[in-house]
Amino acid sequence: MNYPNGQRKTMPVRIKQDKNTFSNRGMSLEEDINITNQFYLDTGRAVIHKKPTPVQIVNVNYPKRSAAVITEAYFKQASTTDYNGIYRGKYIDFEAKETKNKTLFPLANIHDHQIEHMKSIISQGGICFIIIRFAAYDEAYFLEAEKLFLFWDDKLNNGKKSISYEKIQNESYLIPFHFQMRINYLSIIDKLYF
């Protein structure tokens, strides 16, 4: 294309994408869940928020008053799970993990204190689960905490230290992707608990 000032401008080439795929959305699992939770909040469906990580700030550098930089900080305590809130009168608590591994989900991504926290939620009648995204396939799965405990106990008894992709597919629920509800995990909760 030629402009009146004589400059030449080339037009970008557009690549046609398959309408049936949602790959390369450029969003992390956490970002997708935060967008979903905001939609749930805006539409009055649920109140679910990301838990802040408790941090103790030790040292701050003040090169300018408006440009403070934290130079040293420590975690106050081990965090529990990533998200909690309420849906249809039930307490919801869950962890979100993403893996680039194509064949398995390493249980090393979960910690003892998180399992203990999840067990205490279940014992009090809350709904607890983990969302696992396989980035290579752009698929997110809903795994109930009770099923996670079985894999965890197996690991503690010198069993497998991971959950295979096939087991995740068989033991979990594929979470549907929607534009406004990117990780629509409430649709799974509705099926399982209500």
Q: Residues forming the annotated binding site? A: 80, 82, 95, 114
Contact 140, 35 (CB under 8 A): no
DSSP state of 174: E
Contact 84, 92 (CB under 8 A): yes
Q: Residues forming the annotated binding site for Mg(2+)? A: 80, 82, 95, 114
- Residue 14's Cα: distance from chain center in Å? 31
Tell me the CA end-to-end span of the chain in Å, nearest whole number.
59
Helical (H) or strand (E) element with 162: strand 162-164
Our separate counts of H helices and E strands in the chain read 5, 10
Contact 99, 66 (CB under 8 A): no
Determine the Cα–Cα distance for residues 138 and 28; give it in Å rounded to an integer: 10
Neighbours of 140 (CB within 10 A): 25
